[in-house]
Structure 1
Amino acid sequence: MQIVRLTVFTYCLLAALCVLLPNRLIAQLPGADRNPAEIARTLDSLGSSYLLLHKPDSALFYLYESEKIKLSLNDHKGLADTYEIIGHILFDKKQYLESLRYYEISAEYYRESDNLQGLTQAYLNIGNVNTALKKYTDAAQNLADAEKLNEHQQNARNKMVYYKYQASLDSARGNYIAAMADYKEFSRLREQYFNVEKTKFIANTKEQYESEKKQRENEILRKEQFLHLSTIKLQQRFVIFCVALFLILSIITSVLFRMYRRQQDLYLQLNNRNKKVQQQNIIILEQNLALESSSQVKDKIFSVISHDLRSPLAILEGMLFLLRDDKMSPQQFRFFIDELWRDMKNTSAMMDNLLQWASSQMKGIRVNGDDFDITAVLNREFELLQSLAKQKEISLTHQFLHPVMVYADPDMIRLALRNLITNAIKFTPTHGKINIHYLMLSEKIELIVEDNGVGIAEVDQPKVLSNIYYSTGGTQNEKGCGLGLPLSKDFIERNNGQIWFMSQVGKGTSFHFTLPLSEEEENNNDRGYTITITTEQLKIMAQDQNIAIGKGL
């Protein structure tokens, strides 16, 4: 951000100089007669600055002045850049024929100077102008030539611009499906380009930090070296002084005693300083651990935003762009509504999990325990969850027929229930079944979310509730950020509960978790409301739980 601000400030400063220095005064600058090529480059920079300030007429004035100088110098290589910028300005002013003429001259000069990257950009620009002029065949040929040149260069930016212009061409020709595919590829490449630039920025920042750190360490070492030299010189003076007074025994004795006392004080001071340094090192280590944890949270947030949240928004942006410009009929848009609605619901759920996880990692979450009815919480969430299930034609049922009071944080348990049921919907195929039921124990309730979905492979089971944020695509390629289940495990354990699961590939998965009952519910159970569990059932439950615990779940 500081680099961008500095660049904008530089351009504004150049623009101010353009206003303050008349054209005849620029020609009188030192070296005007000796180096006209430098003046032409300066005029190009001034034109670019006015273009950034959205003053195209002023920009054209300086670019035309630069053109005159370069024509006199027969500088075709420099003219290629100037004509390309002039073509951009004329295109923005919708003077398409003039813009096309400058782009074609720019392409010819780029070809003459063997500048393949510039020639690729020129073909892209010519294709975009032909699209605006409705010369779709020529535009398609220009874009194909640009793509062919870029195959050898592998320039990420030119490839991204190619798909953007190709999407505009397909949209103009009425091929909205191809336009949508091209726009998706453009969005993917733009995201990839953004990630590369972000990686470079992080690497540069890290390098700058390491350089500053080394400079500080070198400065500390120099200070310590200077202090050591001073101490050595002081000791040398003391030795010389003692030798000089060696002949006088009384003075020698006094000096030696004083030196001894001073040495003891120095040792004491040194020990005290060492203790302070050790304490400071411990504080620095703790701060480094906190910074590392914050950095991991930040990297996870950037990763989710870059890969999981930007893609659905980019698709929605493209659909709305086509609908707004009447390039897609309402009937075609309705065809994508269900998929867009499901993507936005998944994105909303990922955002909730991300915010809760980031809050728990960075500033912690307090558990606000209270007595509440778990049946009422489930019923409130069931309407939204039923809508998600109906999208995949899944049967979603529960067996909570009367109030059950538990003691926990209702918001945490609501989020945990939502994550477990949403996860079951995600990995259950069409026409599948999901059932939520429970077992009443002596002082707690065991809730079970059971599905007949695809199941979890045994090799992947240890990753599910771990902190490695494991995530895979659903039966309809639903995406997730891998935070839902670990966050649910954390919330349930914070409320004095336990969570585990059992799964078989191709048969389904059942997630189990316990919550403490409220005192009122325990008293009701004592007064006669019980569920009978046979000894054989308890043995099976204990064996299943021991197997799950033994697998690290």
Structure 2
Amino acid sequence: MILKPALILVVIINIISTHALAYQPAQSVNKLKAKLLAKGKQTDTAAVNILNTIAEEFYESAPDSTVHYAENAFAIANKLNYTRGKADAYVQLASVNNFRGQYAAGTVNYNKALQLYRSNKDQLGVSKAFMGLGSIQDYLGNYTVALNYYEKALAIRKQLGNQQEVANSYAIIGITYDNKGQFTKALDNYFKSLNIDLKLNNHLAAADNYCNIGVVMQHLELWDKAMDYFNKANALWLRLDDKQGISTISQNIGEVLMSQKKFNEANTYFQKALKDYLILGDQDGISLVYYDLGIVNYHLQKTDSAIFYLKKSLESATANNIQYNMAYAYEGLALVYNLEKRYSEAYAHALSAQKLAGKLQSLNTQADATLQVSNALAGLKQFDKAYEQHRLYTSLRDSLKNDETLQKFASYNMAIDFENSQRKAVVKEAQLVKKIEQQRVANTIYAIVIVIITIMMIIYYNAKRKQLKANAMLAEKNREVLEQAEELNGLNTLKDRLISILAHDLRAPLSTLRGMFTLLTQHDITPEEFAEMVPLVSGKLEHTSDFLDTLLFWINSQVDNITDTTKNFCLSDVVKVELETLQDQLKQKNITAINSVTTGHVVMADPNSIRIVVHNFLTNSIKFSHENSLIEIKAQVINGEVLFMVKDHGIGMSTDQLGKLFKRKVESQPGTKNERGTGMGLIFCKDLVEKYNGRIWAKSDLNAGTELGFALASASSVVENSPKLV
């Protein structure tokens, strides 16, 4: 059915006049409105497409306008029986539902759009519906389901060759991985999206990606990097007058300032963001900034205000079923109630946060919530339960720190690679401009040469030769600078990774010591109980200090090229020292270590470096051994080499795991009692052994055990007094 011409004209004029004073549209919207008016009495599908495009333009800055234009687009499309127009209108309405936390209505509208797109064989439309359905699942914390929808949409868009939509898919997938705490995967997708946006000069989408990258840097406590990306996003959003983006960046900058303990400045930014979110009706932003205001008021010692804002955050997140923000609010309230000694209320909120964080697979929120559960139980005098929760918190925090440390280095390197590629692109563009300018000059000279052939040909030839020589010299200098920069970056990366390993080895004993003192200062244990715990912790600290000295000595030898420390020493001395230091771990699993290494097994290497290798072999065997099992430690001399082996009878490895064992990228597996590691130990062992012309290997059968071994040159004679290991 066709609309009457007079009616369609009235509808169109009403749409435009209603919003002319309410909101100043962007230039692109003005052009679309002008085009719509120019159509006059025409009642074709083009009018529907224009209305839907205007609705999409208004989505973030004025969602009410999106609803208005989409509803009118649907009304016209329905009269015309225009399938694509109706589907596009459903998508616009669903996007506003999603924005306002109306997930049930959004799901219905996206599914209606999906059905219409499929009936019309519109693959791009199908991908839009998949993206929308995925975004709703993302808000509900169903990340696996969300990613499944996003991957379907991405596959369709790649097949269609639609680069802008591919970029949009990468950006949304990055957000979901960010929510899951998988920051490296998030950054990988953000940078893929940003590269496409920059090539297409899509500044609004580029601003979104700059902001998202800044958020990841903020999670990883790379504050300077975070602020760099936030400022890039803010500059674009201000230029484009994007209200949603401007409010988001205010909140993000406030969170960085709060992390830097600039609480008054942070509060100013949060208040500005809240004002903008309330105008826009952004429920996700509202609940999240209420949480930020609660935490910043707690730091400003305004307890009543802190509780008020945190309750508002929980109320908003619950009303809109934003589970991630609900977990944040519960944890924040538990923190404040514990500090106010309202332990029963703190315990209830902390349990709610802990349950939600587990559902959302958020290790960071789960660790924070577990700490609040422990503190609340201690306040309620349930010390055994408090101690168990504190042990769980320590385990979660160790796992989180290990993962965050590796992700921090990977993310930082990824950002550096992107910035380098951008600089190269700028240099390439400058070189192209230079070549064009040179060609223009050459053409001018050539025109003059036509008049004065002989003289100008000589001048041109000499000038060109000098120029080529200078360019060759400049290219050589650039190559040397790039090689030096690459070498320095390699050294910095090595140092950073080594520091992350040191941090992991120090964290456990320091966390234990901190926990003891916390319990003592809060009078949760008696001085006598504290005194009984001191020898055990002291022994762990002594071992940690000893092992730290060894690692620092090796780091200096790698980075600063200190004097060679290769010498003859007995492997048996190294094994005895490490077995003594690992007695606690052996006893915890009731593991028997059978040591058959003798004083006759003497090698040429640095004893402290080899001690690191032996330590890693033993800790790996303990980690993956079952309780009440055996570990065999043996050595033999064959063809001038000493072959050293540690064999356990634990869980073993698959062929695929074994093949990846000494690679640069290794995902650490949990032990038989859920022990965690960095995944870097055996990589360093390989470097250490090969430094002394040795070789390293691993043999394993799944569920049958693993043998780790190395071979070093045998010394010509037994060392009577091997050097003390430090």
TM bucket, shorter chain: 0.5 to 0.7
Q: Tell me, yes or no, if the aligned pair for 2:602 and 2:642 is still in contact at 8 Å.
A: no
**1:388-467 equivalence runs, <5 A:** 388-467=585-664
Give the secondary structure class of the aligned counterpart of 1:438. strand
Alignment: residue pair count: 440
1:517 aligned to 2:714?
Answer: yes
Alpha-carbon spacing, 1:212–1:335, altered in 2? closer, same or farther (3 Å):
farther
Partner letter of residue 498 of structure 1?
R
Q: Tell me, yes or no, if the aligned pair for 2:567 and 2:604 is still in contact at 8 Å.
A: yes
Alpha-carbon spacing, 1:189–1:418, altered in 2? closer, same or farther (3 Å):
closer
1:500 is matched with 697
Partner letter of residue 474 of structure 1?
G
2:665 is matched with 468
CA-CA distance at 1:460 after TM superposition: 1.9
CA-CA distance at 1:176 after TM superposition: 3.8
* Inter-partner Cα distance in structure 2 for 1:151 and 1:374: 46
Alpha-carbon spacing, 1:358–1:444, altered in 2? closer, same or farther (3 Å):
closer
CA deviations 1:29-83 (Å, max 9, x no partner) are xxxxxxxxxxxxxxxx9xx99xx7999xxx9xxxxxxxxxxxxxxxxx9xx99x9
Give the secondary structure class of the aligned counterpart of 2:656. coil
Q: Tell me, yes or no, if the aligned pair for 2:689 and 2:696 is still in contact at 8 Å.
A: yes
Partner letter of residue 694 of structure 2?
G
Give the secondary structure class of the aligned counterpart of 1:321. helix
1:276 aligned to 449, 453, 473, which one?
Answer: 473
Alpha-carbon spacing, 1:282–1:402, altered in 2? closer, same or farther (3 Å):
same
Q: Tell me, yes or no, if the aligned pair for 2:621 and 2:631 is still in contact at 8 Å.
A: yes
Partner letter of residue 447 of structure 2?
Q
Alpha-carbon spacing, 1:520–1:283, altered in 2? closer, same or farther (3 Å):
same
1:482 is matched with 679
Alpha-carbon spacing, 1:367–1:479, altered in 2? closer, same or farther (3 Å):
farther
CA-CA distance at 1:226 after TM superposition: 4.1
CA-CA distance at 1:431 after TM superposition: 2.6
CA-CA distance at 1:210 after TM superposition: 6.1
* Inter-partner Cα distance in structure 1 for 2:354 and 2:618: 47
CA-CA distance at 1:5 after TM superposition: 13
1:22 is matched with none
Q: Please give the TM-score of this superposition, normalised by the length of structure 2.
A: 0.46
Q: Tell me, yes or no, if the aligned pair for 1:171 and 1:327 is still in contact at 8 Å.
A: yes
1:175 aligned to 2:382?
Answer: yes
1:237 is matched with 448
Q: Which runs of 5+ in 1 are unaligned?
A: 8-44, 60-76, 93-98, 243-254, 523-553
CA-CA distance at 1:428 after TM superposition: 2.6
Q: Tell me, yes or no, if the aligned pair for 1:469 and 1:482 is still in contact at 8 Å.
A: yes
* Inter-partner Cα distance in structure 1 for 2:346 and 2:668: 42
* Inter-partner Cα distance in structure 2 for 1:450 and 1:261: 80
CA deviations 1:485-508 (Å, max 9, x no partner) are 333333333323333343333443
2:524 is matched with 327
Alpha-carbon spacing, 1:148–1:420, altered in 2? closer, same or farther (3 Å):
closer
Partner letter of residue 616 of structure 2?
N
CA deviations 1:422-461 (Å, max 9, x no partner) are 3333333233223333333353333333333333333322
Alpha-carbon spacing, 1:423–1:160, altered in 2? closer, same or farther (3 Å):
closer
* Inter-partner Cα distance in structure 2 for 1:148 and 1:512: 44
Alpha-carbon spacing, 1:419–1:457, altered in 2? closer, same or farther (3 Å):
same
Q: Tell me, yes or no, if the aligned pair for 2:543 and 2:581 is still in contact at 8 Å.
A: no
* Inter-partner Cα distance in structure 2 for 1:141 and 1:445: 60
**Alignment RMSD (CA, Å):** 5.8
* Inter-partner Cα distance in structure 1 for 2:542 and 2:668: 17
* Inter-partner Cα distance in structure 1 for 2:310 and 2:708: 64
**1:33-44 equivalence runs, <5 A:** none
CA deviations 1:266-322 (Å, max 9, x no partner) are 453354345335534543553464356346536645765787865775565345322
Deviates more, 1:229-238 or 1:152-161: 152-161
Deviates more, 1:340-349 or 1:272-281: 340-349
Alpha-carbon spacing, 1:454–1:191, altered in 2? closer, same or farther (3 Å):
closer
Identity value in percent: 23
* Larger RCO, structures 1/2 (Cα 8 Å, 6+ apart): 1
Q: Please give the TM-score of this superposition, normalised by the length of structure 1.
A: 0.57
CA-CA distance at 1:183 after TM superposition: 5.8
CA-CA distance at 1:179 after TM superposition: 4.4
Deviates more, 1:185-194 or 1:215-224: 185-194
CA-CA distance at 1:326 after TM superposition: 1.6
* Inter-partner Cα distance in structure 2 for 1:85 and 1:470: 35
**1:133-282 equivalence runs, <5 A:** 134-137=341-344, 166-176=373-383, 179=386, 195=404, 202=412, 218-219=429-430, 221-239=432-450, 241-242=451-452, 256=454, 258-280=455-477, 282=479
Give the secondary structure class of the aligned counterpart of 2:472. helix
Q: Tell me, yes or no, if the aligned pair for 2:399 and 2:676 is still in contact at 8 Å.
A: no
Give the secondary structure class of the aligned counterpart of 2:700. strand
Partner letter of residue 500 of structure 1?
W
Alpha-carbon spacing, 1:3–1:444, altered in 2? closer, same or farther (3 Å):
closer
Alpha-carbon spacing, 1:219–1:354, altered in 2? closer, same or farther (3 Å):
farther
* Inter-partner Cα distance in structure 1 for 2:314 and 2:639: 84
* Inter-partner Cα distance in structure 2 for 1:213 and 1:465: 33
Alpha-carbon spacing, 1:473–1:341, altered in 2? closer, same or farther (3 Å):
farther
2:66 is matched with none
CA-CA distance at 1:394 after TM superposition: 2.2
Q: Tell me, yes or no, if the aligned pair for 1:350 and 1:480 is still in contact at 8 Å.
A: no
Alpha-carbon spacing, 1:309–1:231, altered in 2? closer, same or farther (3 Å):
farther
Q: Tell me, yes or no, if the aligned pair for 1:455 and 1:504 is still in contact at 8 Å.
A: yes
Partner letter of residue 229 of structure 1?
R
Q: Which runs of 5+ in 2 are unaligned?
A: 1-220, 228-253, 268-285, 720-726
* Inter-partner Cα distance in structure 2 for 1:150 and 1:114: 14
Q: Tell me, yes or no, if the aligned pair for 1:453 and 1:507 is still in contact at 8 Å.
A: yes
Alpha-carbon spacing, 1:154–1:520, altered in 2? closer, same or farther (3 Å):
closer
CA-CA distance at 1:397 after TM superposition: 3.2
CA-CA distance at 1:174 after TM superposition: 1.9
* Inter-partner Cα distance in structure 2 for 1:386 and 1:85: 44
Alpha-carbon spacing, 1:490–1:111, altered in 2? closer, same or farther (3 Å):
closer
Deviates more, 1:465-474 or 1:309-318: 309-318
* Inter-partner Cα distance in structure 2 for 1:489 and 1:376: 21
**1:348-427 equivalence runs, <5 A:** 362=559, 367-386=564-583, 388-427=585-624
* Inter-partner Cα distance in structure 1 for 2:298 and 2:685: 53
Give the secondary structure class of the aligned counterpart of 2:440. helix
Alpha-carbon spacing, 1:106–1:220, altered in 2? closer, same or farther (3 Å):
same
* Inter-partner Cα distance in structure 2 for 1:293 and 1:219: 28
**1:74-89 equivalence runs, <5 A:** 88=298
1:532 is matched with none
